[in-house]
Amino acid sequence: MVTPAAGGPAPQYLKVKTHLREGIASGRWRAGERLPSESELTDAFGVSRMTVNRALRELHQEGLVERVQGVGSFVAELHRIASTLTVRDVHEEIAARGHRHEAQVHVLEALRADAGQAAQFGIDVGAALFHSVIVHRENGIAIQCEDRLVNAACAPDYMAQDFHHVTPTHYLLEVAPLSEARYTIEAEMPNALEARLLGMPRGEPCLVVKRSTLSLGRVVTAVRLVHPGSRWILQGSFQA
C-alpha cells in the first residue's frame, strides 16, 4: 500500500518523486526491491500516468531506480562514487599548503523553502532549510565566499555548529555521507555583497563553483563558492 506524504503545493510529479526517494533513503525499499507500480502510484496520489512516469524517469536518470520494460521499477544497486574531482574541505586545502585558515560567519539563519528551492532540493514548499554565508581566509586574505543552503532534514544540528572551528563541508560529510555531487564551474562577476565580503572591485572576474551534494538520493546542500580570479586556482586530474 502507498500512503502519500503530506506537504505543501509542490508539483504533482515532485510529490511522487519525493515519496519514492525518501522511501529508498529510509530503507523502506532496498536495493533490488520492486517499487509500487505506476498504476498503484497513480491511484494513491490521484495523478496521471504521465505524472508518475516523469517521477520514475527522473529517479532513473539520477541512478536511484532501474526500470525494466513490462516488469516494473526497482531500486538500483548503489555504487561508490569514484572521481578525481572531489569535494574538498577548504580548511584541508589551506592546511596542506602550510597556511593558516580563518572563517568569518556573516549569515546563519533558518528559512522556509520557496517554490524554486523546494524544486531544487526535492522537498515541500515551506520545508525547513538552513542558510549560511561564510568567508574563508588564507593567511588573512579572503579567498572564498561560501553561500550555502542546507536541507534541515539531513543535518538538523547545522545551526548549532561553530563554523569558526569546523567547516560546513567537514560537518556535512560527517552527518550525511556523500553519494553524488553535481558541479558547474563558471567565470562570473561578483554581486555587490560578494565583492564587499571578498574585498575586491566589482569589475574583477571570479571563479564560481556551484555544487549540490546528495546522500542516499536526497539533496543535502546546494552551495555557491565564489573565488577572486586573481587568488584561486582550481586543480584536479582525470583518468580514462
Residue 223 belongs to some domain of the structure: yes
73-111 confidence digits (pLDDT tens): 998 875 433 334 456 788 888 887 788 999 999 999 999
List the CATH number of the domain containing 20: 1.10.10.10
Helices (H), 105-191: 115-121, 168-175
Q: What residue has cell string 593558516?
A: 100
Query: What's the pLDDT band for 6 if we cut at 50, 70, 90?
Result: very low
C-alpha cell of residue 58? 527522473
Averaged over 208-217, what is the pLDDT?
A: 91
Taking the alpha carbons of 9, 12, 17, 19 in that order, is the dihedral positive or negative?
Answer: positive
Please tell me the distance from the alpha carbon of residue 30 to that of residue 219, in angstroms, as a whole number.
Answer: 19
206: amino acid identity, one letter: C
106 and 60 part of one domain: no
pLDDT of residue 46: 93
Specify if 4 maps to a domain. Answer: no
End-to-end Cα, the chain, rounded Å: 45
The C-alpha cell at 231 is 587568488
Predicted local confidence at residue 9, as pLDDT: 54
164 and 55 in one domain?
no
Q: pLDDT value at position 87?
A: 67
Specify if 186 maps to a domain.
Answer: yes
The lowest-confidence range among 38-52, 152-166, 185-199, 225-239 is 225-239
Q: How many CB atoms lie within 10 A of CB 22?
A: 17
pLDDT band at 196; cut points 50, 70, 90: very high
Which helix or strand (DSSP H or E) is residue 213 part of? strand 206-215
Residue 145 lies in a domain: yes
H or E segment at 25? helix 12-26
Residue 218's CATH number: 3.40.1410.10
Q: For residues 20 and 35, what is the distance between their CA atoms, to the nearest angstrom?
A: 8
pTM of the predicted protein model: 0.63
Question: pLDDT digit string (tens) for 23-82?
Answer: 887 778 888 899 999 999 999 999 999 999 999 988 887 778 888 888 899 988 754 333
81 lies in a domain? no
Which of 63, 87, 54, 101 has the alpha carbon at shortest distance from 222? 87
The pLDDT of residue 234 is 63
What is the predicted pLDDT for the residue at 78? 53
Cα(213)–Cα(209) distance, integer angstroms: 13
The DSSP code for 233 is -
Q: Which residues constitute the domain of residue 103?
A: 90-231
Element (H, E) at 142: strand 141-151
pLDDT digits (tens, 9 = 90+) for 129-178: 999 999 999 889 899 999 999 999 999 999 999 999 899 999 999 999 88
123 and 97 within one domain:
yes
